[in-house]
């Protein structure tokens, strides 16, 4: 199968990764990236696109260009430390003479971080402007891996008052999973699974979309403060209980049945009385 790798020339690569730009006739850097480009493409397909939908990449020109950009960025991030990056008057470049010294580790780390953050932004667009609208993608392992909780876009970090960095994203994801567990105890796992599946297919109903937005605010608060906001949880439960016909999945959940189980009524003739 022909892949977008065939379209990544030196010119294309340098357009998406200006820090790797070399003189027109010098292809040494680009040639060293061949294995990294292949690895980046492999990860893109297996971790985001899904092998079952690999052909979709070339069916949509905008999606294809975004995928090419991610592959270039990720390949550079993988290889950057071995390329002798140097800081010049016009930005970063690659050392090509003995008179130039490589940039410091701190500057290279900052460059890699910048590249990875840019890649995260493009991956967001690939998923939420393309893949969620592809029929069947929402049922893939990749969709479940990418949309684990309702805190699923790197841009949501801003809602938590946090800068978009790879470290902040990793740490926030851990907190989001804990917040998701707290939500499931109040709104039921069945209903949360429904919200997530609708998010994976860009198919949130009006009612579910509004409810999911409140759940997201709870997650944001938990990430910022590290403690659950009881007011937000109570609001969600009251919304479900007071408008039960709008939420059939919650109504049929084990949590709802437990909350509304008929309590045993003691009878005068019972030999033992139970206090519940």
Domain shared by 165 and 190, yes or no: yes
Domain shared by 10 and 142, yes or no: yes
| Token pair of 32 as six digits | 């060293």
The structural domain count of the chain equals: 2
Domain shared by 74 and 166, yes or no: no
Choose one of 122, 146, 170: the last residue of a domain: 146
Rounded Cα gap, residues 17 and 31, in angstroms: 15
Domain shared by 141 and 40, yes or no: yes
Asked whether 214 and 236 are in contact (CB, 8 A), the reply is yes
| Token pair of 183 as six digits | 């939500």
pLDDT of the residue at 117? 97
Residues 6+ apart with CB under 8 A from 95: 84, 85, 86, 101, 102
Domain shared by 109 and 12, yes or no: yes
Query: CA dist 153 to 71, 118, 126, 142, 172, Å?
Result: 19, 13, 11, 15, 11
pLDDT of the residue at 265? 55
268 found inside a domain: no
List pLDDT tens digits, range 202-252.
Answer: 999 999 999 999 999 999 999 999 999 999 999 999 999 999 999 999 999
pLDDT of the residue at 31? 78
271 found inside a domain: no
Phi-psi sector, 41: left (phi>0), alpha (psi -120 to 50), beta: alpha
Asked whether 250 and 190 are in contact (CB, 8 A), the reply is yes
Domain shared by 231 and 182, yes or no: yes
Could you say which residues of the chain have pLDDT below 50?
Answer: 1, 86-102, 264, 273-274
Domain shared by 141 and 216, yes or no: no
């Amino acid at each position: 199968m022909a892949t977008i790798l065939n379209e990544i020339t030196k010119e294309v690569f340098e357009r998406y990764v200006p820090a790797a730009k070399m003189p027109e006739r010098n292809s040494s850097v680009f040639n060293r990236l061949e294995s990294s480009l292949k690895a980046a493409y492999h990860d893109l397909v297996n971790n985001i696109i899904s092998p079952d939908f690999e052909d979709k990449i070339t069916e949509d020109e905008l999606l294809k260009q975004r995928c090419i950009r991610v592959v270039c960025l990720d390949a550079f991030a993988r290889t950057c430390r071995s390329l002798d990056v140097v800081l010049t008057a016009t930005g970063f470049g690659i050392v090509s003479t003995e008179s130039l010294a490589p940039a410091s580790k701190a500057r290279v780390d900052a460059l890699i971080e910048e590249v990875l953050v840019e890649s995260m932004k493009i991956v967001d667009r690939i998923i939420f402007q393309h893949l969620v609208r592809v029929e069947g993608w929402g049922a893939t392992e990749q969709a479940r891996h990418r949309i684990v909780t309702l805190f699923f876009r790197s841009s949501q970090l801003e809602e938590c008052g946090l800068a978009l960095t790879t470290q902040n994203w990793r740490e926030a994801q851990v907190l989001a999973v804990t917040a998701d567990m707290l939500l499931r105890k109040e709104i039921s796992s069945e209903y949360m699974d429904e919200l997530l599946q609708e998010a994976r297919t860009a198919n949130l109903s009006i009612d579910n979309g509004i409810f999911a937005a409140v759940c997201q605010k709870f997650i944001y608060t938990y990430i910022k403060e590290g403690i659950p906001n009881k007011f937000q949880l109570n609001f969600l439960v009251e919304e479900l209980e007071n408008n039960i016909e709008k939420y059939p999945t919650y109504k049929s959940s084990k949590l709802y049945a437990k909350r509304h189980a008929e309590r045993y009524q003691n009878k005068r003739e019972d030999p033992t009385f139970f206090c519940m």
